[in-house]
Amino acid sequence: MALNNTYEARLQQETAVGAGVQILLLALLGPAIGMGPAGWLTGLAFAFATWAVLSRALHRSRLRSFGPANRVTLGRATLVGGVTALVADSFRSAPPVTLLVALTAVALLLDGVDGKVARRTGTSSALGARFDMEVDAFLILVLSVYVSTQLGPWVLLIGGMRYAFVAAARVAPWLTAPLPPSFARKTVAAIQGVCLLVAGAELLPGPANLAITLLALGSLVWSFGRDVLWLWRNSRTTVEEPAPELRVLELATR
């Protein structure tokens, strides 16, 4: 029991350090860009929520070590917190686009690094995979909020689709079944952030940014639609398939 408490104390220290680094990043960004109250409050709320949720998840997971891969993901979460603060502040005044693009680009480049680190160090875990996925999803949501101020509210469909899927799964439990691995799904997920980043940077003409964002939305709708169809068909097959006992009885009576 004492050993388990020691492991948990170390894990909690890791999350506390992550929150501290997040606050430090805000302390550097705030004075540099003249961040307003919305940016500060949003950034601090993100830091606290990340710390609270991750601490609870680590307590329930019974992990003995935070692991190098989770540290990479925590670093990405820190960058996402900075992006979140900048986007929240953008409703007050135009954000420094170069800084926003830089933080987002590094966060996107590090996506996939944590997975490779986990596999090479043998520290893969369900918690790490979920942590990585949630950081990705929230970054896409934040970017879609930012781009929606330029192209319209419909862009929010990109960031909100994954959360809508999770909400729908509470009503339709068959949506929670595991999906088979898919390279296409991973590719579509990866291009969302890139497309939104390019559109948000406004380096291209307006029609080009619109086309890129529509491409991201269209590919995401296709990917989710394909997965939902597979889950629905799989759930019907499972329900309609007779129980093993009934199959044995049927064979015995033939």
Query: DSSP per residue over 47-111, as a string?
Result: HHHHHHHHHHHHHHHT-S---HHHHHHHHHHHHHHHHHHHHHHTTTS---HHHHHHHHHHHHHTT
Instruction: Find the angle CA(140)-CA(98)-CA(48) to the nearest 5 degrees.
Output: 50
What's the pTM?
A: 0.87
Least confident segment among 57-66, 71-80, 205-214: 57-66
Per 3-state DSSP, the chain is made up of helix, strand and coil in percentages (nearest 5) of: 85, 0, 15
| pLDDT of 236 above 90 | no
Q: Is 143 exposed, middle or buried (0-12, 13-18, 19+ CB in 10 A)?
A: buried
Mean pLDDT rounded to a whole number for the chain? 86
- Structure tokens of 160? 């909100």
* Euclidean distance between CA atoms 187 and 220, whole angstroms: 10
Q: Pick the residue with more confidence: 15 or 218?
A: 218
**Residue 160 scores a pLDDT above 80:** yes
Residue 248's pLDDT is what?
A: 37
- C-alpha triplet 91, 93, 99: angle, nearest 5°: 100
In this predicted structure, the answer to whether residue 19 has a pLDDT above a threshold of 80 is yes
